[in-house]
A and B are shown apart, each in its own frame.
Chain A
Amino acid sequence: GNSVTQMEGPVTLSEEAFLTINCTYTATGYPSLFWYVQYPGEGLQLLLKATKADDKGSNKGFEATYRKETTSFHLEKGSVQVSDSAVYFCALLYNFNKFYFGSGTKLNVKP
């Protein structure tokens, strides 16, 4: 079946540190991959996406590359800010109608 596995948190970093949150997936066919972010008390919102192998999604300084050979979609940011503190979810869209989410990784950024 389809599934998404991401690193457990929480991840605690100092401001301006480098961030990596690992995500791997299992899927049949060619899913689209996403990172969603959830700020406290809110619903999720799309951060970035990639629809095919070797695509790089980017937004607000975050990046992730769709690696089919390693079935991975790791999230990176070169310099995190306190305002990046949130829960990050890796997700895949299968058959253009079913979403599968990872368990979420909480990021705490300290000043």
Chain B
Amino acid sequence: EAQVTQNPRYLITVTGKKLTVTCSQNMNHEYMSWYRQDPGLGLRQIYYSMNVEVTDKGDVPEGYKVSRKEKRNFPLILESPSPNQTSLYFCASSFELANTGELFFGEGSRLTVL
């Protein structure tokens, strides 16, 4: 089944404790991206990647890192989480984004930073 898989789905952590949210897609998509969803603000793009080893900042990259060593994986790293990073995070991928504009989303990861 074609899908985007995120882990963990739910996480409660404390300020400053490094964490990684993994994202994997099995559709051979070149484009992958991360978003955070906050009430009243919709989705905001954190980082995106056009292909392996090619990443770039979205609208709200501060406090986050990403890497794209393999085509299928695009982990989101919070080196020193803070309470303002409490949010619902979505990973998404796309094949030929310029032509289709269609993003395939994971189910989301709800992160709470205390």
CB proximity to A under 8 Å, residues B65-114 = 90, 92, 97-98, 101-103, 105-108
Q: How far is the CA of A100 from the CA of B35 in the complex (A)?
A: 10
Contact segment of A39-47, A61-69, A74-82: A39-47
Contact, CB under 8 Å: B50 / A97:
yes
Contact, CB under 8 Å: A46 / B102:
yes
A97 partner, pick from B31, B41, B44, B102, beta carbons under 8 A? B31
Chain B residue contacts of A102, Cβ below 8 A: 42
Number of residues in B with C-beta < 8 Å to the partner? 26
Known contacts A97-B56, A99-B33, A100-B59; decide if A44 and B97 are in contact (CB<8 Å): no
A89 partner, pick from B43, B48, B50, B59, beta carbons under 8 A? B43
Contact, CB under 8 Å: B101 / A51:
yes
Number of residues in A with C-beta < 8 Å to the partner? 24
18 contacts between A and B (CB under 8 A): A43-B92, A43-B107, A44-B43, A44-B90, A44-B103, A44-B105, A46-B101, A46-B102, A49-B102, A93-B97, A96-B97, A98-B45, A98-B48, A98-B58, A99-B43, A99-B45, A101-B44, A104-B42
